[in-house]
Copies of this chain bind each other. A is one copy, B any other.
Amino acid sequence: MRLSKRGEYGLRAMIALAEPADKSATPQMMQIKAISLREQISPKFLEQILLTLKNAGLLHSKMGVGGGYYLARSAKEITLGQIFRVLDGPVAPVKCVSHMSYEPCGCPDEATCGLRLVMGDVRNAIADILDNTSLADVTKRQNAVRKKLASKK
């Protein structure tokens, strides 16, 4: 059930872009290089990933000197599910329970297939989390943990 490196890096990069570096309200713009350094990702690989995300409409970019990538929408309006699906495909463990890209599986009777019933639950559990967690939720949570750790010291 693993997340590919592509998906992992893409999610990390999006989270990085969602973090308000300074108190400026303008969408944070970051360069590939900056993200790759910070997250320890091969810059060329990251480039590919960000491009995919851009073509999917989740990121915008500005070319030229002083350019970079920034979120296409506010961090509240981008969910992890959207990012995941662009980079790693359907959430469902088997196609026959996928909402977004259903395909029949081989089993004799889908309606009573026990595996399908359970995998449907699994799909829903994953999708529930991913589709109801926005980038803003993630950064909020990070900050909460940071605060908690700081107060403990």
Contacts and interface: CB of A to CB of B under 8 A. Distances in A.
Interface of A: 1-3, 8, 11-12, 15, 38-40, 80, 88-94, 106-108, 111-115, 117-119, 121-122, 125-126, 128-130, 133, 138-139, 141-142, 145-146, 149
What's the dominant secondary structure at chain A's contact region? helix
Contacts of A126: 1, 122, 125-126
Given A2-B90, A39-B107, A113-B142, 5 more contacts: A1-B3, A2-B92, A8-B94, A40-B106, A122-B130
Contacts of A133: 118
A112 B142 contact: yes
A125 B114 contact: no
